[in-house]
């Protein structure tokens, strides 16, 4: 897809990623006039005529960047790992922004002896939205699992007998606690990364560079 009038498009999800990205944009002198929490606009203009933001679902960010509908975007490592073409192809090596931090973990109902079951070689039913990461994790451990794909509220699955375990993101741990679940294994730490469309980087480097530099500061 062709870039219109050299306007750079940054794809973001609203919520924590948007909130935690604002300081970087402020550092770059960018002011956003609309608040995505209250506005229904999906395209947000900024005080910089060369930069606009688009508000998309967190898991759709890599897709917009991959096809060049956005020049760059910000997405969690969890989302990037699940994305089909990652890490090869059209998404440029991500910059870790160290924002929206959490971890991907295995959790079970309080009282379920996960480690004993694993030791015994039991086959586990695992419910998750993160099927790629979960499959890889259990394959590495040599644990046989039946994966059950869910799109949200994973915490419910062990409580109603849908699964023995879940693979989900944990930040404060309050959601697990409120649902009588306990974390039994950390899979990876997660933060959000800047991804850039390769063609944009090549054709639009002059305009992109100042923004990339501002974001790159986060990695120092």
Residues that bind ligand PRT (CB under 6 A): 13, 15-17, 57-59, 76, 78-79, 100, 102, 152, 168-175, 190, 192
Mutual angle of helices 16-27 and 205-216, in 10-degree steps: 110
Distance CA 49, CA 29 (A): 12
Q: Which is nearer to ligand PRT, 164 or 168 (CB)?
A: 168
User: CB 192 → ligand PRT: shortest distance, Å?
Assistant: 6
User: CB 64 → ligand PRT: shortest distance, Å?
Assistant: 14
User: CB 61 → ligand PRT: shortest distance, Å?
Assistant: 9
Is the separation of the CB atoms in 150 and 128 below 8 Å? yes
Q: Which is nearer to ligand PRT, 18 or 138 (CB)?
A: 18
User: CB 203 → ligand PRT: shortest distance, Å?
Assistant: 29
Candidates 135, 185, 182, 118; CA nearest to 155 is 182
Q: Which two tokens stand for residue 217?
A: 């500061």
User: CB 16 → ligand PRT: shortest distance, Å?
Assistant: 5
The SS3 assignment for 157 reads coil
Q: Looking at beta carbons, which residue is closest to ligand PRT?
A: 76
Q: Which is nearer to ligand PRT, 103 or 207 (CB)?
A: 103
Q: What string of DSSP letters covers 32-76?
A: B-S-TTT---SEEEBSSTTEEEEE--GGGHHHHHHTTSSSEEEEE
Residue 111 to residues 81, 143, 182: CA-CA distances in angstroms?
31, 20, 9
Q: Which is nearer to ligand PRT, 7 or 20 (CB)?
A: 20
Q: Which is nearer to ligand PRT, 129 or 204 (CB)?
A: 129
């Amino acid at each position: 897809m062709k870039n219109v009038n050299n306007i750079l498009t940054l794809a973001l999800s609203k919520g924590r990623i948007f909130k935690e990205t604002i300081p970087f944009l402020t550092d770059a002198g960018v002011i956003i006039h609309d608040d995505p929490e209250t506005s229904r606009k999906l395209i947000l203009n900024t005080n910089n005529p060369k930069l606009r933001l688009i508000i998309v679902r967190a898991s759709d960010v890599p897709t917009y960047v991959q096809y060049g509908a956005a020049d760059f975007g910000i997405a969690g490592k969890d989302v990037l790992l699940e994305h089909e073409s990652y890490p090869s192809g059209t998404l440029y090596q991500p910059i870790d922004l160290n924002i929206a931090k959490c971890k991907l973990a295995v959790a079970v109902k309080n009282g379920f002896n996960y480690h004993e079951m694993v030791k015994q070689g039991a086959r586990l039913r695992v419910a998750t939205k993160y099927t790629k990461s979960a499959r890889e994790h259990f394959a590495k451990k040599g644990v046989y699992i039946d994966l059950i794909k869910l799109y949200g509220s994973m915490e419910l699955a062990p409580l109603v007998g849908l699964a023995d375990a879940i693979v989900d993101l944990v930040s404060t741990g309050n959601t697990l606690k409120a649902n009588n679940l306990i974390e039994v294994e950390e899979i990876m730490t997660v933060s959000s990364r800047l991804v850039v469309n390769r063609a944009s980087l090549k054709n639009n480097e002059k305009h992109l560079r100042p923004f990339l530099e501002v974001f790159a500061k986060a990695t120092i």
